[in-house]
Amino acid sequence: MNKVLPWGVALIAVIVAAVSLNQPPQTIIKEVPTEVIREVPKEVIREVIKEVPKEVVKEVEKIVPATLTDLQKQAIQLGLNVAQSEWILASSQDVLKGVVTLNVAVMVDDAIKDHVKADELRTGIELELRKLGISINEKPDVNSPTLHYTLEGAYFEFEPEIFTYVESLSLTRTVYLPSGVPGDAWKFLNVEVYSSTAFGRAGKTKVVELSRYYEKRMKTFLNAYLKANPVSSTK
């Protein structure tokens, strides 16, 4: 037997069904648990190593000063006298003034002695000096200035056909200094007071021409001498 609902209940059911049909579908949001990561600051730990000083025992050899000879003592004293002396810079005119006698010394390198003769150079230099009335000592005199002319050089392996040379004309004078040694009052030194130098290169076929290169050095020297001794030009 069918059961008949009361009309009021049926009406409510119809209204509820109609309302539910007109509403949009609802979205169901499902909460998903999330994992939160926290950054924890790192603590930097520096390890300090403390160095403990170590005691090192070093053996030092005892040095006993040597006994100096009299000659060594004189050399040391002479060096001290030179270091403590008053130095004076002089011009060419100062060092050449009053020079009337000279020693002459000539040196030529063995590498070219077959092409450039030292005796010939010496003769040419002495001749130029005598023209100005300068006397030449036959034997070296320590009390006279010495005019030196040198021509030195070499043939190098990387340039076997080229002679590289140094040419110089210089004047030295003897300087006396107190030695500071009892019984030996003075010592003397040869001091260079004038110098004229040139550098150059010459092929083997041109080396012989070096025998006349001294003329340019001498010309410069003689001009300086005449400025210091103008009266000498009339001799």
Specify the CATH number for the domain of residue 128.
3.30.160
> Is there a domain that residue 68 lies in?
no
For residue 178, the model assigns a pLDDT of: 65
Q: Is pLDDT above 70 for 191?
A: yes
pLDDT greater than 80 at residue 201 = yes
CA distance linking residue 54 with residue 44, whole number of Å: 31
- Residue 234 is predicted with a pLDDT of 43
Residue 29 located in a structural domain:
no
| 51 is a domain residue | no
pLDDT over threshold 70, residue 78: no
Residue span of the structural domain in which 175 resides: 88-230
The HSE-up count of residue 31 (CA atoms within 13 Å, CB side) is 1
Residue 207 belongs to some domain of the structure: yes
Query: Is the pLDDT assigned to residue 153 strictly greater than 60?
Result: yes
Query: In terms of pLDDT, which residue wins out, 50 or 142?
Result: 142
CA–CA dist 155, 203 (Å, integer): 10
Mean pLDDT of all residues belonging to the chain: 75
Residue 92 lies in a domain: yes
pTM over 0.85: no
39 part of a folded domain = no
The answer to whether residue 56 is domain-embedded is no
Q: Any idea which of 60-69, 80-89, 143-152, 156-165 has the lowest mean pLDDT?
A: 80-89
- Phi/psi for 175 (5° steps) reads -115, 130
**Residue percentage of the chain with pLDDT more than 90:** 30
Taking the CA atoms of residue 121, residue 125, residue 126 and residue 129 in that order, the dihedral angle to the nearest 10 degrees is: 180
Q: Which residues pair with 174 in a beta bridge?
A: 190
The domain tally of the chain equals 1
3-17, 41-55, 100-114 — which one is most confidently predicted on average? 100-114
The Cα 106–Cα 146 span in angstroms is: 10
Three-state SS annotation for the chain:
CCCCCCHHHHHHHHHHHHHHHHCCCCCCCCCCCCCCCCCCCCCCCCCCCCCCCCCCCCCCCCCCCCCCCHHHHHHHHHHHHHHHCCCCCCCHHHHHCCCCEEEEEEEECHHHCCCCCHHHHHHHHHHHHHHCCCEECCCCCCCCCEEEEEEEEEEECCEEEEEEEEEEEEEEEEEEEEEEECCEEEEEEEEEEEEEEEEEEEEHHHHHHHHHCHHHHHHHHHHHHHHHCHHHHHC
Confidence of residue 10 (pLDDT cuts 50, 70, 90): low
Higher pLDDT, 68 or 228: 228
Beta bridge partners of 175: 189
Mean pLDDT of 150-166: 90
**70 in a domain, yes or no?**
no
